[in-house]
Structures are given as C-alpha cells and as structure tokens.
Amino acid sequence: MTTVTTSLEAPAPASARQLPVLTICCAPSAAMADDDAASLAGMFKALADPARVKILSMLLNADEVCACDMADAIGKTAATASHHLKLLRDAGLIIGDRRGTWVYYRVVPERLAAIRDALTLA
Amino acid sequence: MTTVTTSLEAPAPASARQLPVLTICCAPSAAMADDDAASLAGMFKALADPARVKILSMLLNADEVCACDMADAIGKTAATASHHLKLLRDAGLIIGDRRGTWVYYRVVPERLAAIRDALTLA
DNA sequence: ACACTGCTTTGAGATTCGTCGAATCAGTGA
DNA sequence: TCACTGATTCGACGAATCTCAAAGCAGTGT
C-alpha cells in the first residue's frame, strides 16, 4: 500500500516511511548492523591490495603454497610478504602451519563463502 | 612426475619447478597477472569500509535507494555519504541516475558476480 | 655450542584514506 | 529572476596503510 504523489513534497524521512504516508522515494531498507558491516569491511580490507589478491589467487589454485614462494610471486621483499600474509591471517581468510623450516598457507573456504554470500542479491 | 626428497635441500625456486627437478614444496601456481590483481583489489578497496558495506547491503535489499537516505543510514554527513557513493560508482559497483531533484542508486550485478567468481575455488 | 636459513616483528618514511565544513552545481517552484 | 533544497566537490586535518632495512625468533644440521 504505497501512495505515490507528485514531486511537490520532499520524500518522507526513512523513519516515517513505515506508516502509510505519502512516499515517492524508495523502500525503507534499513542499513545493516554496525557489527556485521565492520566484520565484512574488515574482510574486504584484507583483500584491498594487489599483493594480497595475488596471494589469495595462488592459494585458490594450489590449496597449499610455501611462504618461501610468496615474496617472488608478488614482487616484494620477504618482510612485506609476511606483512600481507599476517593481514590475511588476521582476517581469517587464510591459515598457515609450520612444518619444519617452512610455513605452508591455505585458504579458509568458509570465510570466502561468507564474503560471496554478502554479495548475493536477496 | 614429482620427485620428493628429504628436507636436506631448500625448495627449488618456483621458476625452476616447471622442470622435473627435486621439489618438496608445493605446486608452482604462478601469481595472477598484475592487471587482474589491481582490478580486483580496486573493487575490494571500494568495499573496504563499513559505510560502503552498509550502502551496498541496502541496495542489495531494495534494488533502488534514494541518495537522500544514505547519510542517515550510515550515520555520516551528506558530504561523506556522497564521497562513499562516488568511490562505489568509480569502482563500477553501483550506478545512480538523477530523476529531478533526487538521485537513485542501484547495484551493478555483473560486477558483484565478478568478485564472487574471483573468490571461488578453482 | 655454533652457524645458517626461513619467517616474523619492529621502526620509520611516504602515501593514501575518512571525515567534515564550506563552497559549488543541479533542479524545482514562486 | 530569485530563493530553496538535494547532491557533489574542494580544502584541510588526523588516522591508517604500504614498504623496506634491520633486528629478532624458529628450526635444521654440523
């Protein structure tokens, strides 16, 4: 039950659009909760760099990659590679376990699925 | 044909692992192209903020939202909301068209699909 | 114990980002 | 034309980010 008027009056503020009042703008569609938005934004931020996108793509193709190859693959120093790996780890997108001298990383499929779900139309 | 050795020698550099040589580490799995990584990282960067995640989620639930509601929804000034909308627009994730006084935004489903595909296991 | 290698952390510099007030542009209606 | 409102852009500030060299930690093998 949505009454459409001419554009004479301003669109009612979202807070008032619950009632059957003059509206012309759009569905209420409240914003998502702060916590959810922050959590999702954190994951996106973890992927918001070409070096980290490259790392993730490597892990998606090989399901396990030695940290010793990361620096060369992204064209940065080992320290920088380690920094990016930490950001991906902190975001929960990848995990690494040490086996002797080397550390092997792989993706966390559930976390990637969470991102995909957030980008899917209702 | 992958020969596995003891951990006496270091893992061969990725550039040498194409050949049937001593390897113990992981599949070659070259990094993705610079251009693709930068393009994807750009889209992730566009979503790397809670305000922009909220905006996107609103658009996913309502397929059209008036810019006049964005500021209230994200709890920021109109100038800040416009700034975030511009970043999402520049990334190609949303488009807005003006209808008289107001501007209505909606998502670009193909671009969201591109992100989802990049996060999918091979 | 020692040396050696891989990985991570620390510290510092340059750059980018988020935010808002103020100014500007766009469209409506008197 | 003028006044008014919505939306965007500009200017500036503090906060966060990216990068590397250098130092520190972890494991291996002598």
Would you state the structure tokens that stand for residue B64, as one six-digit string? 């059209």
Mean pLDDT (chain B) is 83
Residues of B in contact with A69 (CB under 8 A): 11, 13-14, 25-26
Residues A91-94: contacts with CB under 8 Å, at least 24 apart: A91/A42, A91/A43, A91/A45, A91/A46, A92/A43, A93/A43, A93/A46, A93/A47, A93/A56, A94/A55, A94/A56, A94/A59
CB < 8 Å from A in window 47-76 of B:
47-58, 60-66, 68-69, 72-74
Give the pLDDT score at A113.
97
Q: Does ipTM come in above 0.95?
A: no
Q: What is the pLDDT along chain A (122 residues), one digit of tens a residue?
A: 333 333 434 454 444 333 333 335 554 567 789 999 999 999 999 999 999 999 999 999 998 999 999 999 999 999 999 999 999 999 999 999 999 999 999 999 999 999 999 999 87
Query: Quick check: B8 pLDDT over 60?
Result: no
**Record: contact B121-A115, CB cut-off 8 A:** no
Mean pLDDT of chain A: 83
Choice between B89 and B2, residue whose per-residue pLDDT is larger: B89
Whether B101 CB is under 7 Å from strand C: yes
CA distance B34 to B39: 9
For residue A58, the surrounding DSSP H or E stretch is helix A50-62
Tokens of B7: 């951990």
Q: Which CATH class is domain B34-118?
A: mainly alpha
pLDDT of residue A121: 86
Q: Which residue has the higher pLDDT, A11 or B118?
A: B118
Nearest to B27 by CA among A75, A112, A69: A69
B9, pLDDT greater than 70? no
Question: Rounded to an integer, what distance in angstroms lies between the CA atom of residue B74 and that of residue A33?
Answer: 10
d(CA A36, CA A12): 27
Interface check for A32 against chain B (CB to CB < 8 A): the answer is: yes
Give me the torsion for CA of B47, B52, B58, B61, rounded to 10°. 0
Length of chain B: 122
What pLDDT is attached to residue A10? 46
Q: Burial level of B79, CB count in 10 A (0-12/13-18/19+)? A: exposed
For an interface test with B, which of A29, A101, A103 has the most B Cβ atoms less than 10 Å from its Cβ?
A: A29
Position A2 scores a pLDDT of 33
Check residue A64 and give its pLDDT.
Answer: 95
**Closest Cα of chain B to A79: distance in Å?**
18
Which residue spans of chain A are classified as CATH 1.10.10.10? 34-118
Confidence of residue B53 (pLDDT cuts 50, 70, 90): very high
pLDDT interval class at B16 (50, 70, 90): very low
- Does B29 contact A65 at a Cβ distance shorter than 8 Å? yes
User: What are the tens digits of pLDDT across the range A66-76?
Assistant: 999 999 999 99
**Confidence class of residue B31 from pLDDT cuts 50, 70 and 90?**
confident
Q: Determine whether the distance from the CB of A39 to the nearest atom of strand C is below 7 Å.
A: no
How many interchain CB pairs under 8 A, A with B?
169
Residue A30 is predicted with a pLDDT of 78
Q: Which residue has the higher pLDDT, B56 or B20?
A: B56
> Cβ(B42)–Cβ(A100) under 8 Å?
no
A44 exposed, middle or buried (CB, 10 Å; 0-12, 13-18, 19+)?
Answer: buried
Compute the distance between CA of residue A12 and CA of residue B72 in angstroms, rounded to an integer.
13
**Strand C at less than 7 A from CB of A106:** no
